Amino acid sequence: MGVHLLSPPPFLRLFLFSFITLCLIPQHALAGITRHYKFEIKLQNVTRLCHTKSIITVNGQFPGPRIIAREGDQLLIKVVNHVQNNISIHWHGIRQLRSGWADGPAYVTQCPIQTGNSYVYNFTITGQRGTLFWHAHISWLRSTIYGPLIILPKRGVPYPFTKPYKEVPIIFGEWWNADPEVIISQALQTGGGPNVSDAYTINGLPGPLYNCSTKDAFKLKVRPGKTYLLRLINAALNDELFFSIANHTLKVVEADAVYVKPFETRTILIAPGQTTNSNQLSSMILHRSLWCPNRASRNKNFLIVIEVRLT
């Protein structure tokens, strides 16, 4: 009695071929990869405007670490809370499709992470690419806890604009010499507006226009004739900010992780991130990637300015 190995019928052969082929294709080529990050919430001494104070940071960095992923990737970010304050992190602008528990607003989609506890944010980036950011989403901890969230196109997919020579995140923020938690609790008690910050910052640095701050300026060395992609993020608490570079035109190519029809402008208005209210209109003009044709001639410095204009 022998066993007959029959040749499978054609439809089964096709099925087996497709199945084996699918198994052989690397998973990341289909749906992106999983990226792991660890955010340790801890205190760090930082000096600005000649004031040294202990601020709450992610991994001791101010601004916080950069998250880089591709469209289609899954992010697993473990947040461990080592400070006395409750904490939660909002992935600002991410469409949380079937992952609402990972959105981040404290007391809205999750209980905050308590001292000594941790939480793993788990979400997949779907249909978005460009510049977003993450920040704390409880009380005013976002004044020191924030950082870029950069979404590159899928592997092998080019930008729909000239490939930049370099990409530079430029994140606007604010600095208070006092404790921001005291400022917001005072404002809530009195019902008045919160005290204004002592400085606006670019990548955590106030720049040379403030007292005792000449050395704490963000400098970007550029090569003449090269194109730079500036990933602008307004992580200020509540203020709309105007951004410009002396003697330069900026071309806006993306807003809020959506490519736009490029347009040129000398000055750009960027609204701040919303807090508990994820206002779509505001987030539409929140983050912008700029394509900056650098026409600087050699050995020249150009002032990069952010400012508030009272109207």
């208070």: which residue's tokens? Answer: 176
Q: Which is nearer to Cu ion, 32 or 130 (CB)?
A: 130
- What whole-number distance in Å separates Cα of residue 16 and Cα of residue 14? 6
- Give the other-Cβ count within 10 Å of 239's Cβ: 17
Please answer whether residues 133 and 148 qualify as being in contact, where contact means their C-beta atoms are separated by less than 8 angstroms: yes
Residue nearest to Cu ion (CB): 92
Strand order in the sheet with 267-270: 267-270, 241-245, 304-307
CB of 10 to Cu ion, least distance (A): 55
Q: Which is nearer to Cu ion, 108 or 269 (CB)?
A: 108
CB of 134 to Cu ion, least distance (A): 8
Q: Which is nearer to Cu ion, 90 or 129 (CB)?
A: 90
CB of 24 to Cu ion, least distance (A): 41
CB of 91 to Cu ion, least distance (A): 8
CB of 135 to Cu ion, least distance (A): 5
CB of 133 to Cu ion, least distance (A): 8
Q: Which is nearer to Cu ion, 250 or 270 (CB)?
A: 270
CA angle 239-129-113, nearest 5°?
60
Q: What is the Cα 232 distance to its own chain's centre?
A: 9
CB of 202 to Cu ion, least distance (A): 20
Amino acid at 150: I
- What whole-number distance in Å separates Cα of residue 279 and Cα of residue 287? 13
Amino acid at 238: N
Dump strand ranges (E) for 241-286. 241-245, 250-255, 258-265, 267-270
Q: Which is nearer to Cu ion, 136 or 268 (CB)?
A: 136
Binding residues (CB under 5 A) for Cu ion: these are 90, 92, 273
Q: Which is nearer to Cu ion, 164 or 273 (CB)?
A: 273
Q: What share of the chain is helix, strand, coil (3-state, %, to 5)?
A: 15, 40, 45
Q: Which is nearer to Cu ion, 70 or 135 (CB)?
A: 135
Structure tokens at 240: 């709309």
